Chain A
Amino acid sequence: MPENLIFTNKEIGFLRELKRQKVEFMLVGAAAAALQGAPVVTQDIDLWFEDMKDPGILTALRKSGGIMVPSFGQNPPTFAGDAVKLFDIVLTMHGLKSYEEEKKNSFEVALGTLRVSVLDLDRIIKSKETVGRPKDLLVLPVLRDTLKTLRQNDTKNGVPRTSRRRKD
């Protein structure tokens, strides 16, 4: 299936390695919204790290055959290498609190046998509302409808939204 040719074991292997190195991170942005059921497209997977200086990041990169390209000018640091090129580094989630605070608004999602933290959709919406770039404004109605659908769907099933989705 063509779907299987994208986000394969290479990428999952990198996330697994980050967890093995005990790096604190969560998935945010459109990819995190897609994981929660939002019908949106995304070209990359945003990773928000609690501490970019965590040496575990470089170890995980090395073990996955990737490297870190330092920031220069307006460009933030990026990852390079086959297994990590889909990932983007997020330094700040505009409009949100600190990583530690927002961790409370995340939940775990299974990617195959790996479980990763994903920021809750309402916080992704809040951040996109704050940033307000044209591409954010374009996708916001879809994200808001997704959030309402999730809430309605769970109300019908009589299950609180977060705890139901924790089963993902």
Chain B
Amino acid sequence: MRLSGENTKKLAGARSLSLNALLKRAGVSKTAYYHLIDKESVLPRSIDALAAALGVRPSALLEEADRKSRRALRLLEAADRIAGSDPSMDRDNIRHTLLLLEEKPIDRLRRSLLRARKLDLYK
């Protein structure tokens, strides 16, 4: 996970907090903060402290790619949990259903109609 300096500043600004004030409130030193920004990976505890000081979810402070990967992980965890409760279920069916539930119903229907049309092309 990589901390997004841009998101952190934006969220602090929205709460009328300067970066310095945020760091003070979160108990994170300036040196530690810039060290975090430079690092490819940061400890969730550091992110949690900053998020708590801003009153936001830790994911709000992450780079976009991290948010996507966290979302995908959450979905896989949910699929695992459901599959674990009933071994007769197909894991792919569960995963695809959970993915579709994140879309609007009209988009689910369009996807279904479009896939049928694509299958028709190969007949």
Contacts and interface: CB of A to CB of B under 8 A. Distances in A.
Contact of B97 (A4, A37, A41, A156): A37
A149 B80 CA distance: 11
A4 B101 CA distance: 18
Given A34-B108, A152-B82, A146 B116 contact: no
Contacts of A146: 93, 97
Interface string A1-13: 0111011000000
Interface string B78-122: 100110011001100110111011001111111111111101100
Given A35-B105, A35-B109, A109-B105, A150 B114 contact: no
A142 B91 CA distance: 11
B113 A7 contact: yes
Contacts of B115: 41
Given A3-B114, A34-B112, A41-B112, A153 B78 contact: yes
Interface residues of A, number: 34
A130 interface: no
Interface string A28-52: 0011001111111111010000000
Contacts, number: 97
B100 A37 contact: yes
Contacts of A40: 112
A69 interface: no
A96 interface: no
A142 B110 contact: no
Contact of A6 (B104, B108, B113): B113
A149 B93 contact: yes
Contact of A153 (B82, B110, B114): B82
A112 B117 contact: no
B120 A43 contact: yes
Nearest to A150: B97
A2 B104 CA distance: 16
B113 A42 contact: yes
A27 to B, nearest CB: 9
Interface string A104-140: 0000011110000000000000000000000000000
Contacts of A31: 109, 112-113
Interface of B: 78, 81-82, 85-86, 89-90, 93-94, 96-98, 100-101, 104-117, 119-120
8 contacts: A3-B110, A6-B113, A31-B113, A35-B108, A110-B105, A148-B86, A149-B93, A168-B104
Q: Shortest 9 CB-CB distances between A and B: which pairs?
A: A34-B112, A39-B96, A145-B93, A41-B116, A41-B115, A149-B97, A152-B82, A3-B110, A43-B116
